[in-house]
Amino acid sequence: MHEINCSWKGDMAFGSSINGHEIIIDADEDFGGKDKGPRPKPLLLLSLAGCSGMDVVSILKKMREPLSWFNIRVKGELTQEHPKTYSDITIVYEFKSSDGLKDDNVKKAIELSMERYCGVSALLKKAVNLKHEIVYL
């Protein structure tokens, strides 16, 4: 079980210590915030990127793939009506084509993450259209 404590810090800011790391979230100034930290919904996208990214790095390492650079972009489309939620999320996995990575192994690592290992993607798939793309730069 995971449990966090989230304390009000005044105005629209909240703080939490997670795994010994202090995180502050806040609202836009238009909504009474003071921009002391990120907004909650983009942090959800970060959680997805981190969860899947850690899986992909671990799997590619086990495959002995020569990974030297890796980036993940996550795009979330918000609904227009309240409560504004993500209707579609796309994960874009970016790799350097000069690394000599085997495309089949990259695809397998991402599929294993998305279908078997990443708990964040498993949870989000129940509520959101979740897609992914692979880009070689």
Bond prior to 83 in cis (omega within 30° of 0): yes
Q: What's phi and psi for 123, nearest 5 deg?
A: -70, -45
Beta pairing, strands 129-136 & 86-95:
parallel
The vertex-59 CA angle with 53 and 60, nearest 5°, equals 90
* Residue 70: pLDDT band with limits 50, 70, 90: very high
**83-102 average pLDDT score:** 94
Answer whether residue 98 shows pLDDT above 90.
no
Q: pLDDT value at position 35?
A: 95
Residues contacting 86, CB < 8 A, separation 6+: 41, 44, 45, 76, 77, 78, 79, 124, 128
Q: Within a 13 Å sphere around the CA of 100, how many CA atoms are in the beta-carbon half?
A: 3
pLDDT for res 32: 95
Mean pLDDT over residues 42-68, rounded? 97
> How high does pLDDT run on average in the chain?
96
Report the Cα 15 to chain-centroid distance in Å: 20
- pLDDT band at 72; cut points 50, 70, 90: very high
Q: What are phi and psi of 81, to 5 degrees?
A: -95, 155
Q: How confident is the model over 1-50, as pLDDT tens digits?
A: 999 999 999 999 999 999 999 999 999 999 999 999 999 999 999 999 99
Residues whose CB is less than 8 angstroms from the CB of residue 64 and which lie 6 or more positions away in sequence, other chains included: none
pTM for the model: 0.94
